[in-house]
């Protein structure tokens, strides 16, 4: 018959060790206690090393008081790191309504402890489980789905889109929903597009070169490509001083077909460099109008001769009237609002990369242009019910 192993509690072990320290004959004490002498020596060694942290029981650490403090600090640090990771993933949900916080928790159940996420997002775990297990109506499910889409579109646009552009994106995805409803949901979600700053004049028109008439005359609605190109220059501040961005926009699809980022303001670095890129990217159409402000970079003989060589009609805004070149000004407003304002100053090299990504990926390929949305909305034939919630 197998002998049953006897289990000794921590108090017994501690007293046995303390008693052994007062006795000369440890073997005799072990016989009196009914334990193996080797076991008593083992207890003595453990108590000598860990003191009051000895004999913690199965699954617990044997620690000295100093080690206990270190262990407690490590535990707190690990807990703080876990909270940080949860906040990093769910910071955009902090100001959102409760249901969206629940959606976040459900999405990350397999990564973070539910109780910890509830604590960080200031929710009760019982409330979450109640929400998770209750049957939800189709209307509520649709609302939550739309809010998820709004959040996704908002952050994929780097917090640049407001309710009009998000509404258009949702319509394109098949959700027939009003801008008012989208604005309401954005308010509930705590989402707000970045604000712009006031317009600042940067054009240097104090020169003796020929200034041409405003042929375009604010006719910004164009039905064919390469019929009207608009260009302008703006200043961009960095840690290392200013960069100068020159753009050429085709008014037909509002794409940046040519652009230049330079350290100087010479004609070669600005208007000519952007023009050269534009003619490489898009064929010059018949009766093309090139519109700009009266800046020296556009009025100089070098640039004027280049334009004349291609048989292009030049057009310039009236003096001090930024609205005559509203499309180009609108692009700069969007760029500075969405990429620069509210952010820390960065190096020129980093800024060049940021602007390249903004123009070539975000603006030209992804961004919805409000002037074009009206045409596209008329052509949409989505057969879905109009959502009002």
pLDDT (average), residues 237-251: 92
Please tell me the total number of residues recorded for the chain in this structure.
389
In contact, 377 and 171? CB cutoff 8 Å:
yes
- Could you read off the pLDDT of 134-157 as tens digits, one per residue? 876 778 778 888 888 888 888 777
Q: What is the dihedral of CA 330, 336, 342, 346, to 10 degrees?
A: 180
Residues 6 or more apart in contact with residue 197 via CB below 8 angstroms: 336, 337, 341
Q: Which residues of 134-160 are buried (b: 16+ CB within 10 A; e: fewer)?
A: eeeeeeeeebeebbebbbebbeebeeb
**pLDDT for 176:** 85
- Could you read off the pLDDT of 245-260 as tens digits, one per residue? 999 999 999 999 999 9
Query: 3-class DSSP state for residue 102?
Result: helix
- Distance between CA 28 and CA 34 in Å, rounded? 10
Rg of the Cα atoms in the chain: 35
pLDDT (average), residues 219-243: 92
Task: Spell out the alpha helix ranges (H) of 135-192.
Answer: 138-156, 163-172, 179-189
- Could you read off the pLDDT of 26-38 as tens digits, one per residue? 888 888 888 888 8
* pLDDT higher at 312 or 14: 312
- Could you read off the pLDDT of 165-196 as tens digits, one per residue? 888 888 888 888 898 998 888 887 777 766 54
**pLDDT for 109:** 82
* pLDDT higher at 59 or 305: 305
- Could you read off the pLDDT of 321-374 as tens digits, one per residue? 888 999 998 899 888 887 887 678 889 999 999 999 899 888 888 666 555 444
- Could you read off the pLDDT of 214-229 as tens digits, one per residue? 999 999 999 999 999 9
**pLDDT for 374:** 46
Between the alpha carbon of residue 292 and those of residues 142, 214, 244, 249, 299, the distances in Å are: 47, 9, 16, 10, 9
- Distance between CA 195 and CA 183 in Å, rounded? 15
- Distance between CA 362 and CA 157 in Å, rounded? 8
**pLDDT for 90:** 66
Spell out the domains of the chain, with CATH numbers in brackets. 10-62 (1.10.10), 67-133 (no CATH), 228-345 (3.30.420.10)
Dig out the tokens for 310 from the structure: 């291609």
End-to-end CA distance of the chain: 75
* Mean pLDDT, all residues of the chain: 81
pLDDT (average), residues 283-303: 93
- Distance between CA 367 and CA 351 in Å, rounded? 20
**pLDDT for 276:** 95
């Amino acid at each position: 018959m197998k002998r049953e192993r006897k289990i000794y509690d921590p108090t017994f072990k501690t007293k046995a060790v303390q008693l052994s320290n007062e006795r000369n004959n440890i073997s005799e004490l072990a016989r009196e206690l009914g334990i193996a002498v080797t076991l008593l020596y083992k207890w003595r060694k453990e108590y000598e090393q860990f003191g009051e942290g000895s004999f913690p029981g199965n699954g617990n650490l044997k620690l000295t008081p100093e080690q206990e403090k270190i262990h407690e600090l490590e535990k707190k640090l690990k807990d703080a790191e876990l909270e940080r990771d949860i906040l990093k993933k769910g910071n955009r949900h902090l100001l959102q309504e409760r249901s969206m916080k629940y959606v976040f928790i459900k999405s990350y159940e397999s990564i973070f402890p539910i109780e910890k996420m509830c604590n960080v997002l200031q929710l009760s775990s019982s409330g979450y489980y109640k929400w998770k297990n209750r049957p939800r109506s189709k209307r509520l499910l649709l609302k939550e789905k739309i809010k998820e889409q709004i959040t996704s579109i908002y952050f994929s646009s780097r917090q640049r889109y407001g309710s009009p552009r998000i509404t258009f994106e949702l319509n394109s995805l098949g959700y027939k929903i009003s801008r008012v409803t989208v604005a309401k949901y954005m308010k509930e979600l705590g989402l707000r597009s970045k604000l712009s700053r006031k317009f600042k004049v940067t054009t240097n028109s104090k020169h003796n070169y020929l200034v041409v008439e405003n042929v375009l005359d604010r006719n910004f609605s164009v039905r064919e490509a390469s019929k009207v190109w608009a260009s302008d220059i703006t200043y961009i501040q960095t840690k290392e001083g200013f960069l100068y961005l020159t753009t050429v926009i085709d008014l037909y699809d509002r794409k940046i077909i040519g652009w230049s980022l330079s350290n100087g303001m010479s004609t070669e670095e600005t208007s000519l460099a952007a023009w050269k890129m534009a003619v490489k990217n898009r064929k010059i159409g018949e009766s093309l109008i090139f519109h700009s402000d009266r800046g020296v970079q556009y009025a100089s003989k070098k640039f004027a001769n280049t334009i004349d060589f291609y048989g292009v009609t030049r057009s310039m805004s009236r003096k001090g009237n930024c609205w005559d070149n509203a499309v180009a000004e609108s692009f700069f407003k969007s760029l500075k609002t969405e990429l620069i304002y509210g952010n820390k100053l960065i190096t020129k090299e980093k800024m060049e990369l940021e602007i390249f990504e903004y123009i070539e990926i975000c603006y030209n390929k992804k961004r919805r242009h409000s002037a074009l949305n009206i045409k596209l909305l008329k052509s949409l034939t989505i057969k879905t019910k109009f959502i009002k919630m």
